[in-house]
Every structure is written in C-alpha cells, then in structure tokens.
Structure 1
Amino acid sequence: MYSLTSRDIHRGEIHNLVVLEMVDTDNTVADVAHDFAHVWRDILAQPEDSGYHRLVEYQKYGHDGEPLSALYGYGEWRDERLSTLKGSYDPSVQLNGYDAIPIDSADWS
C-alpha cells in the first residue's frame, strides 16, 4: 500500500504534510521501498517545499536516518532539557523505543 497525504497550511508555517507509507507482505521490496521513501523525504524536505529551513518530522513518523532534533526540535537547550528529564525519570534507560532520547545531551544528532 502507498499513501500520500498533503495539506496546504499547518500552523501557518508548513506548506505540505506528506506521509509516505510502503507496505509489503514478504519483505521482497523492503530495500527498494526504504530507498524510495528516503529519496522523496529528502526532496520534500527542501525549504521551498516544506516551509522549514531544515528537516522537521512528526516524532511518530520518523523511520531512520533523521537527526533526533528533526523529531524533537532543534536547539541545544532542548537537547539538554530532554536528556535531563530522561535521566531523572529513566536513569537505568529501561524505557527506550524508536528514536530514544539519550541521557547524555552530547549524544544528540
């Protein structure tokens, strides 16, 4: 299945909201679909198309290859704050998943 969703305006800044979704039943085209999605992600993330000067993604839509800051927000202060909170609530790093917040703010991409 392939889906493409586009909107005109989001929060007054973004020109398009695009969701690329590839689904297969036996993984035979997984690599091709992965490459296709990343190529189009990079094309659509261009400032003239996205409305942002760098990559911005909804956290749940990130797949891989995106910097954590594209998912959680840019700014060193934000990285430090999120890492501090992560260290306070999960010091033994048990609550991780995709695109996990690092405890050490130096590990942000």
Structure 2
Amino acid sequence: MPTEYASATVWGVVVALGVATFGIRASFVYLFGRIDEVPDRVTNALEFVPPAVFAALALPAIVAPEGAIAIVGNERLTAGVLASAVAWYVEDILATIVVGMAALWLLRFGI
C-alpha cells in the first residue's frame, strides 16, 4: 500500500517502535530480576492484563467488523454474546468455542 511518507521515515518509525517495545519488555525483566518479592498490589493488577489484551484485540472485530460499529444485523456480535454467556455459566473453553462458532455459522449461513 503506497503512503505519502518517505521510505526512511517509515523505517525510522518501525525502528523507534521496536526499540520502545524492547525497552518496555527489558524494563520488566530488569525490574523483576532485582526485586525479591513482588508486591501484592502489582500481582493483583497483573492478573487483569491478559483479559484486557484479549478484549482489546477481539472486541473491535466483533462490534465493528466492517470498520463502523454495527449492532443491528451483526451476527458476530450475537455469536459473541452467546459464547460469552456460555463462558460465564459453564466456564469451559471448548464449550465456549463450540457454541460461539456454531452460532456464528448458523447466523451467517442458516440451515
């Protein structure tokens, strides 16, 4: 995809973001290598990181599959809500995946 930016600018941004990402990850390795005991507040806060990352990755694809928020006629949203209900009540990953995919397949292609 062509852009308005020069090749050196694009590569500069890529390198800068790579260095920043590496620095953030290295800081955690350095920090937790120097601390003998992680405080309880940090441990409790870090428990919420995986669900937050998953929600940030999955929610836009479910709520806005075409780039704009679509609630009416959005089969991904309906299947996601059904899968979320199964995950909440059953707490089984396989059942959640099966119900979510089956609901999406039925809503998209019908019987």
Structure 1 length-normalised TM: 0.30
Q: Whose Rg is larger?
A: 2
Higher relative helix content = 2
